[in-house]
Structure 1
Amino acid sequence: MLNPCPSAPVLVDTHVHLDDPGFDADRADVLARARDAGVHMLVVPGIDASGWPRIRDLCASHAGLFPCYGLHPLFLDHHRPSHLDALRHWLTHEATVALGEIGLDFYVRGLDPQAQRRYFEAQLDMALELSLPVIVHARRAVEEVVLALRDRPGLHGVVHSFAGSEQQAERLCEMGFYLGIGGPVTYARARRLRRVVASLPIDRLLLETDAPDQPNAGRQGVRNEPAYMRETLRVIAELRGESPASVAAATTANACRLFGLPIPH
């Protein structure tokens, strides 16, 4: 049973790379600060095959951590076709709440678009076959990602760190996908994202940090961590004209529904 103090509504960080070596020196303290801030559940996505055992062991060692496994487009040089078979084995033999992080990244130069598409589409098909949600990375590739998801009716999941248009957000919501919102929304210059968040149906919104990356405004150059998600919650609530408590309750319910997490009391 989760019993945070009333000033810290129960939150779920739906995207945090807690296995990152940047947390090795003080991971226990990071988790303690997260819980003090009301972040009691954390979804930890995988990025390449070599990291899956580390994520499994980390999540097995700490309450409230939930593992995912996938092949991330930024680590294309690490992936091999055989890793798709290995991924299927992990997803069917290890506890997991989603297939991810997967996707397309056309921002970073030198990443073969065709190779990215092969891994991405194979993993989408695998998630559909196994009835698992997907955690999708889409940078400079939102339109192509939307089309790939549309071609697979029945697939469900989240486009994390959403950075697309209002129209793309509407299409994803219509398909039953969630949009993950984190640190970028705290920047005043992120006007398009702020418009999306202000108008997004609350039942399609998830909170995330992408820690240790994507720090909030005012924390540039500082390692991001789950405790800072309270700041993101405050900004989102202000943009929507709602209370932080109501946004916290709705986004936590959304995360529990998508990932099958235990419902907090």
Structure 2
Amino acid sequence: MTDNNTLPIFIDTHCHLEMDRFSSDREAVIKRAFDSGFAALITIASDPASNEKALELARAHDNVYCTVGVHPHEARLVDEKILADVRKWAADPNVVAIGETGLDFHYDNSPREVQREVFTEHLRIAQETGLPVVIHVREAEEDALKIMSEEGVTNGVLHCFSGSPALLEYAVDKGLHMSIAGPVTFKKAVELKDAAARIPDDLLLLETDAPYLAPVPKRGKRNEPEYLLHTAREVAGLRGVTLSDVARITTLNARRLFGMGDLPQSGEITYSIRNSLYLNITNRCT
């Protein structure tokens, strides 16, 4: 087994381990991640059936957590019973967030007005439960910003962040996290690369969105949590810091946002990045 003491510690904040594409080797995929120095994995529910699968997976594995909710593609399936189930499941200690939810106007698999209504309901459940919300936005920036502003969203993450300047400005203003995935390694992802360099240290997260969006040099293959290391190296280069720096800040941010594991007491100096001290009081460099 790999000696994890020599490896940077990462958390994949967004993967879909419950999906059928992992059915033949799910346990091996999880083992590879932990052998590669991962502290935790968060498997993300996306439809009514996957909520229960994600919960079962999280209950069966130490340091695997899950979210509950319905992806905008499946918003048309949501009724009062499903929303009640999401509220019920949210009380499980293995559940660390609501989602993924949001708006996807690229495919329009669900009517746009239904997506808006379901997104709003998820945001309200997150506020009721005190859990962060995992937000998906694709070709729906204006509508998403309007709904998030109306609902006062301040606790959550813009998953698979696109690099949008308007979303970046909103997230920084409201304290929302932004999660960088494999596309940051793509040559033409200029806007995303720029954003990955500029996101404040205390709002930066990493994810794979596995089995989707494998980073270079695995592009085109089925993605898995272990491949997060390629994304992390790219982000480190863009930010002018070490791989260990990226691991430290993103792992601390994930633990704080999702309430996973023990955290240092407020006020302790956690570590240094560049020529700055990273303080726990605000999670900001000073």
Between the two proteins, what is the percent identity of the paired residues? 35
Mapping of 1:165-204 within 5 angstroms? 165-204=164-203
Distance 1:121 1:230, change over 3 A: same
Q: Which moved more, 1:157-166 or 1:113-122?
A: 157-166
Partner residue in 2 for 1:147: 146
Tell me if the contact between 1:135 and 1:158 (Cα under 8 Å) persists in the aligned partners: yes
Residues 43-97 of structure 1 show CA distances to partners (whole Å, capped at 9, x for unaligned) of 1111122222211111111111011100111123433342112211222356411
Partner residue in 1 for 2:277: none
| One-letter amino acid of the structure 2 residue matched with residue 165 of structure 1 | S
Distance 1:28 1:93, change over 3 A: closer
Mapping of 1:110-125 within 5 angstroms? 110-125=109-124
Partner residue in 2 for 1:99: 98
Q: For residue 129 of structure 1, report the CA deviation from its aligned partner.
A: 1.6
Residues 25-52 of structure 1 show CA distances to partners (whole Å, capped at 9, x for unaligned) of 1111111111122122011111122222
Partner residue in 1 for 2:89: 90
RMSD: 1.7
Tell me if the contact between 2:186 and 2:215 (Cα under 8 Å) persists in the aligned partners: yes
Higher RCO by CA contacts (8 Å cutoff, separation 6 or greater)? 1
Partner residue in 1 for 2:234: 235
Tell me if the contact between 1:101 and 1:135 (Cα under 8 Å) persists in the aligned partners: yes
CA distance in 2, matches of 1:199, 1:140: 22
The number of aligned residues is 262
Tell me if the contact between 2:123 and 2:153 (Cα under 8 Å) persists in the aligned partners: no
Q: Which moved more, 1:217-226 or 1:199-208?
A: 217-226
CA distance in 1, matches of 2:136, 2:145: 11
Q: For residue 110 of structure 1, report the CA deviation from its aligned partner.
A: 4.3
Partner residue in 1 for 2:43: 44
Q: For residue 142 of structure 1, report the CA deviation from its aligned partner.
A: 2.5
CA distance in 2, matches of 1:66, 1:94: 9
Q: Which runs of 5+ in 1 are unaligned?
A: none
Tell me if the contact between 2:163 and 2:193 (Cα under 8 Å) persists in the aligned partners: no
Q: Which runs of 5+ in 2 are unaligned?
A: 265-286
